[in-house]
Amino acid sequence: MATAIQKSKRKKSGLKRQRQSQKRHELNKSVKSMLKTLAKKVEQAIAAKSADTAKEALVKAMQAIDKAASVGVIHKSTASRKVSRLSAKVSKLSVA
């Protein structure tokens, strides 16, 4: 955090930009954490060899990943890759 002397030299718009950036950073961090948690739930269902649970968890994870990509938290290609890898694992479980 800036000291009082440094703050006085900054412009109002710069300070506002800093606040906005910090707020966005916190929101993005929480969304990314949630995405990791949802992916882990899918992985756990796969490890437990529970096809139905894995499919339900995959649907929730896919929705969250797509929403994060549309908002711009993660890149669209990254979202596509994550969904593809998770769905491939779940489909492999269903076949076996």
Mean pLDDT calculated for residue range 7-13: 79
Q: Is the CATH code 1.20.58.110 the one for domain 12-95?
A: yes
Query: What is the value of pTM for the model shown?
Result: 0.81
Q: Where are the alpha helices (DSSP H) in the chain?
A: 4-9, 12-47, 51-71, 76-95
Give the residue extent of every domain in the chain: 12-95
In this structure, the number of other CB atoms found within 10 A of the CB of residue 44 comes to: 13
Q: Which of 6-20, 36-50, 73-87 is least confident?
A: 6-20
